[in-house]
Structures are given as structure tokens and as C-alpha cells.
Structure 1
Amino acid sequence: MSKRTMQAVLALLALLLAYYLPAAAKERNDSAASTQAAAMIQAVESTGAQTTEILYRTSVQLERVNSTKDLIALGSKWSKMLSVPVSHHLMRENELQVYETGIKTGGAKFQFRLIGVPNGEEYLTHLVLSIQGERSHLQDVVQLLQMADQTLRRAGVIPQFSTCIRGMYSDTLIDDQQEGKIFAVLTSLQANEIERLQDETVTSVSAYTELWGHFITTNHEKMNVQVATHLDKRNNVTRITVGTPIITAEY
């Protein structure tokens, strides 16, 4: 899968996440997101993994626009509100029109994507924000998270941030070992398995914990944490990713 295709898939995942989060999740704020990240980092590192990256993502539906010119104008408006560089052009990703920009603050990156979805003669618009940084730059990541959260709230929007923690084991673990690491993380988070997916290189388990109140529903079951391992044979390592309520990053 190409990087551009993966970005489009993740953007759609973010849109689905924003649609399916229940009302209870809308009271979640950046402080809660930071607390959940700390719990997930502790859970990952307790299994012997090295935390490599923290990622926050949110998607917000904005107003409809009539043209690509209006889409650029809307992107410029929000760029200024979020203090990121203004772009003057769009990229096309399949049928989507995408306005993209971003900044780097300290050791953290802030990506801004305004996605225009064709709807007859109009475009439905979705603002997708991503904040990411290494474990050693957690403070920079949290500062960007606070800035984004406060800006959206001042504009009358209550964002729902998903949180992903990426980690790595410096060895290629067999299936049983990967499952052991996953369930050690779930035990640390007091989470019960809901469903799983497994193939030759990836094992993914969805679960539910009462440590935090937000959740989505899958097969009539509550779910608010996902843990996945990926065997990276090229680099002779095993990667682990933990996300809430789902993983919205490549794993």
C-alpha cells in the first residue's frame, strides 16, 4: 500500500471515528487525552518495549463549500486560526480534494489537512489534525495538543482526540510471544478482549477498559482500546501499537 493511499485510508478512519464516538466522548479534553497517553506508555514499556512515538488525531466536520476556491479559502482561515502556514493550492487524492499544511515545534510535528469530499455540486469538508512526536519530546507534543484543543473549542467545536502509542522490541517475536505482549498491555490497562484479527505478520486485539469513559460500538460490544503487533522482518524488530478508542496510525 502506498504512503498516499495509506494517508487516505487513515483520513477515512478518522472521519468514521468522529462519526461513531458517542455523546459521552464529546466531554473528553486534552487533559484526559494526556492522561490516557501516560497510561498507555506505561503499559507498553512494562512489557519491555521502547516507546518510539506518540500520535494524537482528531477529525471535525466543517461547513459545506461550493467550489475548490472556497475550499482553499476555508483552509486559509483555519490555518491562521491554528497558527500554521497558509497554503494556496489543493492536492487530489482519488476523488478527494485536500488542503494540507503543518508546522514543527521543538520535537513535535503538527499536520493540518482539510479534506473536501464531492457531494453533487458541493464539497463536504472535514478538518483532520495530527500531532506526533518521539517519547523524548512528549512535552512538545502535549503543548501542540493543548493549542489545537483550545483553538477548536474557541471556535465552538469540542474535539475528540484519538491517541496512539508506538513501541518496538529489539527482536523478532513469534506469534505466542506477540500475543503475550498484547495481553500484558491489556492487563495493565484492565481491558477485556472483544475481538481479534491475525495474519502472517500482524496480530490485532480490540478490547474494552473502564479506565476511561469514551468508547465505540462494534458487533454490539463496547470497544475503547486496540493493541497490535507487527513483525518487521526487514529490520529484525517487532513493533507494537496501542490506540484509543482505535488505532488510527499505520501499524
Structure 2
Amino acid sequence: MRKIRLQLIVMMLLLCGAAGMMAGFAGTTERNGEELVPQTAEASDWKATAKGASEAGSTAESNLELLAALGQEHMDPSALLTVKIQGEMINSIYKDQAKTAAEELARAMGLSGITSNELQGNDVFQAEGDQAGVSVHLDWALTKQGHSYVRVMLVGEAAAQAREMMSLQQHVQERMEQAGIPNTWNASIQGYATKSGSVDGTMAQVEETVARKLPLRSVEDYADDTTISRSYEAPSLGTFVKSGDTPIHMQIAVHEDSVKKSSRITIGFPVITIEY
């Protein structure tokens, strides 16, 4: 049953992601009409040195560990962790070159069977597979101008597969760099609250736990009858997006599921890029 549930959720993520892939490419989000692109503190310096690459990988790993820990404390064991790694190839290439490059990247990640599709007039090469229980999906989109946008999505159960996902994320980022694709990442964890309570109460519990682990400051807030969403500045997390002049490192959302009669919690670093 868990495997079927995971497959259904992955399919929903892919359908939602495909519609917006060419306009923001899944790793970006829009807030108040501005495009937000994940950035890493001193990213240009990191890419220039082996030490920098090691620091970037270490930061990503520690952030995923924190996400998994928050899920374990507040969500049921079936909580899902989603990691998206995305980048743009620097050089313009032709369709056959893009397909070959996508096939090589897929093989390097243990995937096979590239399929070709068309999305909004652009060529898209896709591959998917399973690595130690983690669903891995590759999308390589080629625009009419020859620009390549690449996204790899990892989805797995946080309680059982967080460590494997950390290893896969590092491996994917290294392979993308070797292929000439500078990249950024974002991650989200989502699950139902283990304790019953109001949306306000659940949000307060999660915020209290996070505040014990790292300094943070709420910078944006949204609320309606069933949902609360807040964005935070938390410099120790490293990766951020810009909303105006304000860096955002983390987003937390709590939604009251009227069907399950329970609160669904979603936490994103630096923002949530899945439906909450």
C-alpha cells in the first residue's frame, strides 16, 4: 500500500510540475509577481573550488537531516520528502545533442529508457526509475532557441529513506556539474500531524520546535479559514530565494484536511514547491 501511495503522489507531482516546467521550471516560485530563484550564499565562490563544492554538499545534507528530523517529530511515519535539483545548461545545443546528453545523464543516475515529448512547443526528454525505494525522475527541456533546462526530482518516505536521498542528491548534483549544468536545489517534507489540534496550534508547535534548532524571523504570512503559511529568514540554512530585498530560507504551511479531519504539515527549504 505504501508503494502504491508513493507512486500516486509522484504522478500528481509530475503532472503539476510539467504544466509549469517551462515557466519557472519547478525550482522557482513567484511571490508578489516576482520570480524567486533558489540561491546559495557565495554560490559563485563555491563553484570555483573543490572545498566550496564540499561545503555546498555538506549544507544540503544537514538541511535534509533537519527536514527529516522535523518530520519525525511532528508528522506520521508516511511523511514524504521531495527534493528537486534544477539547472540550466550554459551552451546552446541541437535536439539530437540534447537527447544524447539527457541519455548520458540518465545512465549516470541509474535510469534508462529516455522518452521524448513536446510541451508548449519545446522538446522534453524524460526518464524515471527507482533507486533503493526512492523515485527518481529526470526532465530535460530544450527550448526552440537551444537552451536546456534540467530538473531531477527525488521522492521518498522521510522516515525510511532520508539517508539514501541525501546520497542521491549529492550524486545527482555532481553529475549535473560534470555535464556542464550549474544547479540549485530545494526540498519539502509533507505529512499529517501526529497530534490533533487546530491549524493555529499545530503551526505554533512546529515553529517552537524549529526555533529551538535555529534562529529564524517570520517575514511573510498568509492565512485563510483552513490554511496558514509563513515564510522565514533563517540565514544558517544557507540556500534562499529573494522576495523583493528579503531573503527567504524556509516556509511552513499547515492545512486542515476536512476529509481526514487532521492537519497536513508542509515544510520547505527554501520555499514549498509542492501543493500544500
Instruction: Return the offset for 1:132.
Output: 1.9
Counterpart of 1:16 (choices 6, 12, 28) is 28
**Residue in structure 2 matched with residue 130 of structure 1 by the alignment:** 153
Question: Is residue 92 from structure 1 mapped to residue 92 from structure 2 by the alignment?
Answer: no
The letter for the 1-side match of 2:92 is R
Question: Is residue 115 from structure 1 mapped to residue 141 from structure 2 by the alignment?
Answer: yes
**Counterparts in 2 of 1:90 and 1:163: CA distance versus 1, 3 Å:** same
Instruction: Return the offset for 1:207.
Output: 0.3
The letter for the 2-side match of 1:65 is I
- Structure 2 gap ranges (5+): 1-10, 30-35, 47-54
Instruction: Return the offset for 1:233.
Output: 1.8
Question: Is residue 248 from structure 1 mapped to residue 273 from structure 2 by the alignment?
Answer: yes
Aligned length: 244
- Structure 1 gap ranges (5+): none
Please give the per-residue CA displacement for 1:115-149, whole angstroms capped at 9, x wherever unaligned: 2234xxx2421110111211212232223223212
Counterpart of 1:191 (choices 216, 228, 240) is 216
Query: Moved runs in structure 1, 4+ residues, more than 6 A?
Result: none
The Cα RMSD (Å) is 2.8
Please give the per-residue CA displacement for 1:179-236, whole angstroms capped at 9, x wherever unaligned: 3234224423321101012234332111011323332221211211111112222223
CA distance in 1, matches of 2:146, 2:179: 21
CA distance in 2, matches of 1:123, 1:199: 43
User: TM-score, normalized by length of structure 2?
Assistant: 0.76
The letter for the 2-side match of 1:236 is K
**Residue in structure 1 matched with residue 69 of structure 2 by the alignment:** 42
Counterpart of 2:177 (choices 153, 166, 169) is 153
Instruction: Return the offset for 1:94.
Output: 3.6
**Residue in structure 1 matched with residue 50 of structure 2 by the alignment:** none
Q: List aligned pairs for 1:200-219, cutoff 5 A.
A: 200-219=225-244
Q: Any conservation in 2 of the 1:44–1:185 contact (CA below 8 Å)?
A: no
**Counterparts in 2 of 1:125 and 1:199: CA distance versus 1, 3 Å:** farther
User: TM-score, normalized by length of structure 1?
Assistant: 0.82
